[in-house]
Chain A
Amino acid sequence: SQTIHQWPATLVQPVGSPLSLECTVEGTSNPNLYWYRQAAGRGLQLLFYSVGIGQISSEVPQNLSASRPQDRQFILSSKKLLLSDSGFYLCAWRSPGTDTQYFGPGTRLTVL
């Protein structure tokens, strides 16, 4: 069966510091991968998606970036965090050509 992992689970970072969040998927090959952000009490905002290694599509211009160095690994990064980057970051996956998208457990980021 497929599983998706995210780490860290929680993170507190000062403004201006770098960020690296990791997402890995097990039990599937060549998944489509997604990064979403959820601000407190708000909906889900699609940030990036990837259909293959090295292929990244950005949905929202911001100070975040994403990379996919391996087939089942998706990384969200920032060089300098802003207060507005605080939120719940969710990674999601789906098998290509299928319709169902599944979310990982999420990383709660607080920028102080």
Chain B
Amino acid sequence: QQPVQSPQAVILREGEDAVINCSSSKALYSVHWYRQKHGEAPVFLMILLKGGEQKGHEKISASFNEKKQQSSLYLTASQLSYSGTYFCGTERRLNNNDMRFGAGTRLTVKP
């Protein structure tokens, strides 16, 4: 039930782009993306509820392909502040209280 994230880690230079993928073996109702800085709690970035929906948050956007049960997080023109571990959380139904998180993708942005 736990979604699979890839890659496990990525290192970028400032200004470069990155894509983080999240896939599930089960049909999904929603995909949630969080960013966690070292030693801190995860911070909510965005949620995707419909197949094919795309959302944006500053220069971070995401897509959700309901048929493929996949979501991708796009970070464009990365900034130093984007460094952290990104988690996707998936749910199969609203109010099912069954959100499961991937193992995370560690993103490091260097000057």
Contacts and interface: CB of A to CB of B under 8 A. Distances in A.
| Chain A interface residue number, banded | 20 to 34
Which label, helix, strand, loop or mixed, suits the secondary structure of the B interface?
loop
Contacts of B95: 32, 96-97
Interface in A9-49: 32, 34, 42-44, 46, 49
Interface string B73-111: 000000000000001010000110111111110000000
A5 B2 CA distance: 27
Contacts, number: 50
A34 B42 CA distance: 14
B93 to A, nearest CB: 11
Contacts of A96: 95
Interface string B28-56: 00101010000111111001010000000
Interface of B: 2, 30, 32, 34, 39-44, 47, 49, 87, 89, 94-95, 97-104
Interface of A: 32, 34, 42-44, 46, 49, 51, 57, 90, 96-97, 99-106, 108
